[in-house]
Amino acid sequence: MAMITSLVDLSVLLVEPSSMQAHLVQRMLANQGVKKVTVVETASAALAALRASHDGTVVVSSLYLPDLAGTELVAAMRAEAALETVPFILVSSETRPQVLEPVRQSGACSIVAKPFTEQQLSRALYAAADYLNPPQDVDVAEIESVRVLLVDDSMASRRHLRRLLTELGIERITEAADGKEAVTLLEQSMVDLVITDYNMPEMDGRELTAYIRTQSWQAEVPILMVTSEQNMGRLAAVERAGVSAICDKPFEAGSIRRLISDALTR
């Protein structure tokens, strides 16, 4: 796929049942230089359009659609190999964590809260463009030999992170579905970086971090936490446990690449 050098190069699939809201977003997109915009009203129409053509496409979707919720749309996209890497931006006034969590775990680029400004939409679009563009130059010595343990109970989230890691040139990636499984893997083999979620069954990210720092023979390994957790008290406890860095879900591809590079070079 051609490099996305500006928003002019993007093709936006806008999934919005409200004609008034669709016109508003289209006007904002035009002001940002986006020229290729297709508008559909339903999730099924969006999936059909993506299956026909999705090269360089970013999906901007409302949460509440006539046939499926936006959370179900992104889940359907991630379930299809051809569509699982298409950038997804959710536009919604919804704030309940239990509703937004499936989007955060799906590898969405951004969640833009209504009402929003052109600047907020622009930032989300640039994050999507960054996600579409593989990094051209990563300054990490011998990146091919780096061993990463990826810990997350969401398969979609692991796939999203694995793609970013492979684009960095990292190929030696081991996956675990929770902290307990990660502990077993850490006892068996050496790693150079642990990337973990916070909320997981059996053993969560804080417990895994505390175990590594106090009981593992790999106590000095860098630990990057990528999480949708919003409770500041819990995140403070993770920092005290010894995590190297914390990144919010959904995350910008450029941000996670920089954090990974920083963790490895340290």
User: pLDDT confidence of 61, banded at 50, 70, 90?
Assistant: very high
5 pLDDT higher than 70 = no
Average pLDDT of the chain, as a whole number = 84
**Cα within 13 Å of Cα(198), Cβ side:** 24
* Model confidence pTM above 0.85: no
Cα gap 260→263, rounded to integer Å: 5
246 pLDDT higher than 90 = no
Residue with the bigger pLDDT between 20 and 107: it is 20
3 pLDDT higher than 60 = no
User: 164-198, pLDDT tens digit by residue?
Assistant: 888 777 888 999 999 999 999 999 999 989 999 88
242 Rama class: left (phi>0) / alpha (psi -120 to 50) / beta = left
Average pLDDT over residues 237-266: 73
Using DSSP's 3-state secondary structure scheme, residue 111 falls into strand
Helix, strand, coil percentages for the chain (3-state, nearest 5): 45, 20, 35
Domains and CATH numbers, the chain: 7-132 (3.40.50.2300), 143-265 (3.40.50.2300)
User: Dmax over Cα atoms in the chain, in whole Å?
Assistant: 59
pLDDT of residue 137: 52
